[in-house]
Each structure stands twice: as structure tokens, then as C-alpha cells.
Amino acid sequence: MAATATATAASLYSSRVHLQKQSKSHGFPAKSPNSLQVAQIIDGKKMRNATLLSAASTDKAVTTGQPVSPTACDRVRRHTISVFVGDESGIINRIAGVFARRGYNIESLAVGLNEDKAMFTIVVLGTDKVLKQVVEQLNKLVNVIKVEDLSKEPHVERELMLVKLNADPTTRSEIMWLVDIFRAKIVDTSEHTLTIEVTGDPGKMVALKTNLEKFGIKEIARTGKIALRREKMGETAPFWRFSAASYPHHIKESSHETVAEKTKLGLNGNGNGNGNASSGGDVYPVELYNDFKPVLDAHWGVVCDEDSSGCRSHTLSILVNNAPGVLNLITGAISRRGYNIQSLASGHAEKEGLSRITTVIPGTDENIDKLVRQLQKLIDLHEVKDITHMPFAERELMLIKVAAHTSARRDVLDIAHVFRAKAIDVSDHTITLEVTGDIRKMAALQTQLEVYGICEVARTGRVALVRESGVDSTYLRGYSLPL
């Protein structure tokens, strides 16, 4: 009996050691014999215990510890989601809350106005199953018109980054050489710093940042990634009927309608916009498109000018931790106090683990000062600055798809050349342009291209960095230069 007990104990001991070695080889924490027995007792299934003991006595590997093949589970990948919503107060907080309540971290976010609608471009990490659930939840929100996942389709993606770095006279020539290689631009220069603007795909942003780190990066402001689907060729293209039917009509008649009037037609369902889309939902009160008041008017008139009451758009630069739910925390604090967000851009900051949010909020100086003090009380927030009254360099990025057949393609390209825009995609009936600048430049270009028919527009919010040179270009606008 003693020999039998010793043999049984030895076999069980060897099997437990074998199980521990297996768990370590696959990266799982090793379980002690006591925890293994407790798990068996809690399970309460005698057949499972008998199978485990029989496998241990024959010194065979247990199948539960073997690695799962990659094809058995979905892989985590980066998804680019475009969300078209009715432009109204609080919509940013509601969409960010969908991700925050489920623990998903938004890698980047860009919000821009698309005439009567606002367009969100969100980059999030997750599996295909997770993203399918997120899309379904977003579609349930009121005034969400359409949600698209562009990750699996051919698309054009761009991002804008402003970089402020140290530049001594000894290193300035090398920095200018790198700027020329990456097709970047110098937007501000001082005695010891340079501010660089660069656009491109995220890989280009990372490459430029890596090459500039040796000089010492002081600040980085990045927009989120924006994307537009590459237009297909032929009559099966989504905008073939739009361009073929409406393009001659736009060319023959002069554009006497203002942008606001066209927006009103689109909201009422009489224009080319998606005015007949359903605004149904089961979470928030249903509000018709012709009832809600947009945060921005279509020609962006209230963004730049100050009214008689002292209300103007303020630019806030917020430095936060890159953690799930932070964006919802910031937008929630703003919306609960009745402030509207005109634009918002979120991207990685100069330090690892930090993100910089640049947002534009209308209000008086007194009200914005109160909001800044309230934001400073939030956790995960390192710094918040109102740079409205400081000299700062501001930039926005816009992708615009224009209906242009071969007969008018030259005219569209001539207009793009005047605004220093670049053609990044061409089909037999459309041209997609990329343009950077301030908000006035965006509005002027979009107004000039409306006569040809605008298919899609994707805009980032404003990103801004304080000018170290102290030159405020706003004082130069509206005044004639001396002869």
C-alpha cells in the first residue's frame, strides 16, 4: 500500500510539474496544486476531474493549455470610422461616451463641418467583432445619419501636424534639409525655435518626428486622421449619378444661392443632401433636422468675428493622459456647462502617453476663464491654456471631393492651384483635393468649388501652437500695405 501510494503521489507530482511548465511556456501564470484542486471542486464536474487525473496519470499534455491559432480569434487592428451626424450641441460628448462606456480608447478624433452635417473621423483599435458592435451602437444615437468603416476599402487618409523644436544656428541648415525632404513648411521662426507644418499619412508623421527628436521637440499639435473613399471608375461609382446629372445643371446656372440657402434646402430634403434620412433613435429625444440649431453656420461667419456682446471663438490647448474615457471626460465637462464645441482635434503629444486636444469654443472672455478653471480640476489633465489672445499659428486640413468631368477638370485644377491645394485622387468623374490653411481659406475654396458640385468633405478641427516670434498676423488682415 505504501508503494502504491508513493507511486500515485509521484505520478500526480510529475503531472503537476508538467502542467506548470506548460503554463509558463504559453505565458499564463502558473497554478499551484492547491489552486488546481480548488478549481476542480468549484467546477463540480466529476467527469472533468476524472479526465484531468487520467491525463495526468498517463503523463500527457492537457489540451486546455495549448495555444490558440491566430485564425481562431479576431485580430486587433486599427479601424478608421467616418460618422456623419446632424451638427448640434452635445453630439461630440454623446459619440465619445459610446466609446468610453465600453472601455475603448480613441486613438485620434477629428471633427469638421460638412455644410449641413458634421463629420467625425475616429481611429480606434479593436477586433472586427468589437467594431461591429460600436457601429451598431452609434447608429442608435439620434441625428447620426451614417456610420462607415473605411478600413477595408481603398481610401485616402491624411493627417496634419505642427511641430515646434529647438533650432540653433548650427542645426538650422540640417532641419531645413529634413523639411525639404518631407515636403513640410516653416510657419514660424524665432532666434532659437522653428515651427513646422507637415501633412501626410501617419507613417510619414512618425518618420519626421523620429528624425527631429535629436534636435529637441518642445511641442506637438496633431489633428486626427481624416479619410475619404477613393472613387471608383465607371457608372458603378457612388457619385457617378450625382456628377453626371447635377454637373451640367451647376455649370449652366450661376451660383446666386448662398451656402446657407443651399444648406437649408439640404436640411429640408429639397437639395442634394441626405435630408430624407431618418432621425429615429431609442436613446435621446427625436429631433427633426429642420428643428435643431446648428453650432456652426455653413459659411463659418461666427467662428472668426466678434459680435457686439463680446462673444468670439476661443482656442483651447489641452494636454491630457492618453487613456480610455479622457475625451468623454473633457467633452462632458464642456457640454454640462452649456458650451458648444465648434471643432475638436485630438492626437498624440510630444511625450509618450500624453495627448493634446485642440478645441474651439465660442463665448466671452469671462465665461471661457470660468471654463478653464473648471477643466483644471479634472483628473488626467496636465495643462489647459486659452491661447486666443496670444499670437499663434493655426492650421486646418480639408479633403474635398469635387464632381469634375474631363471638360471641367482643368478649371478645377486651376482653382486648386490658386489655393495651393493638391490633387490626391482622380477618377473619370471626380477629383479629390487636399488643402491646408486657416478657416477662411477653407470656406473660400469650398465656395468656389460649389458650382461644380461637391461630393464629400472631410475636415479636421483647428490645431494651433503659440508663435515664439511674437508676430500676430491677425493685425495685418484687413489693412492695405503701404506703397
Domain count, the chain: 2
Residue 376 resides in a domain: no
Asked if 363 and 339 touch (Cβ cutoff 8 Å), the reply is yes
Residue 125 resides in a domain: no
- The model's pLDDT over 134-147, given as tens digits with 9 standing for 90+, comes to 888 888 887 788 88
The whole domain housing 24 covers 2-65
- The model's pLDDT over 308-336, given as tens digits with 9 standing for 90+, comes to 677 888 999 999 998 888 888 888 888 88
Q: How many CB atoms lie within 10 A of CB 211?
A: 14
Residue 371 resides in a domain: no
The Cα–Cα gap between 227 and 120 comes to 10
pLDDT at 432: 93
pLDDT at 153: 82
pLDDT at 282: 33
pLDDT at 88: 63
- The model's pLDDT over 93-131, given as tens digits with 9 standing for 90+, comes to 778 878 877 777 777 778 765 555 677 888 887 788 878
Tell me the mean pLDDT in the region 399-425: 91
pLDDT at 322: 87
Asked if 346 and 327 touch (Cβ cutoff 8 Å), the reply is yes
Closest Cα partner for 359 from 66, 167, 93? 93
pLDDT at 400: 92
pLDDT at 362: 87
Write the CATH number for 446.
Answer: 3.30.70.1150
Most confidently predicted of 188-202, 284-298, 394-408: 188-202
Q: Is the pLDDT of residue 294 over 50?
A: no
3-state secondary structure the chain: CHHHHHHHHHHHHHHHHHHHHHHHHCCCCCCCHHHHHHHHHHHCCHHHHHHHHHHHHCCCCCHHHCCCCHHHCCCCEEEEEEEEEECCCCHHHHHHHHHHHCCCCEEEEEEEEECCEEEEEEEEEECHHHHHHHHHHHHCCCCEEEEEECCCCCEEEEEEEEEEEECCCCCHHHHHHHHHHCCCEEEEECCCEEEEEEEECHHHHHHHHHHHHHHCEEEEEECCCEEEECCCCCCCCCCHHHHHHHHHHHHHCCCCCCHHHHHHHHHHCCCCCCCCCCCCCCCCCCCCCCCCCCCCCCCCHHHHCCCCCCCEEEEEEEEEECCCCHHHHHHHHHHHCCCCCCEEEEEECCCCCEEEEEEEEEECHHHHHHHHHHHCCCCCEEEEEECCCCCEEEEEEEEEEEECCCCCHHHHHHHHHHCCCEEEEECCCEEEEEEEECHHHHHHHHHHHHHHCEEEEEECCCEEEECCCCCCHHHHCCCCCCC
The Cα–Cα gap between 414 and 418 comes to 7
The Cα–Cα gap between 200 and 184 comes to 10
- The model's pLDDT over 4-17, given as tens digits with 9 standing for 90+, comes to 444 444 444 444 44
Confidence of residue 204 (pLDDT cuts 50, 70, 90): very high
Question: Among the three residues 34, 50, 65, which one is the final residue of a domain in this structure?
Answer: 65
Q: How many CB atoms lie within 10 A of CB 318?
A: 22
Residue 429 resides in a domain: yes
C-alpha cell at 296: 456652426
pLDDT at 416: 94
pLDDT at 102: 75
Question: Among the three residues 65, 85, 101, which one is the final residue of a domain in this structure?
Answer: 65
295 versus 142: which is more confidently predicted? Answer: 142
Residue 213 resides in a domain: no
Question: Among the three residues 11, 44, 65, which one is the final residue of a domain in this structure?
Answer: 65
77 versus 287: which is more confidently predicted? Answer: 77
Residue 344 resides in a domain: no
Closest Cα partner for 387 from 326, 459, 468? 468
pLDDT at 195: 95
- C-alpha torsion 210→153→222→162, nearest 10: 70
Residue 185 resides in a domain: no
Confidence of residue 209 (pLDDT cuts 50, 70, 90): very high
- The model's pLDDT over 15-66, given as tens digits with 9 standing for 90+, comes to 444 444 444 444 444 444 444 343 343 344 434 444 433 444 444 444 444 5
pLDDT at 382: 93
pLDDT exceeding 70 applies to what percent of the chain?
65
pLDDT at 158: 92
Q: What is the mean pLDDT of the chain?
A: 73
Residue 50 resides in a domain: yes
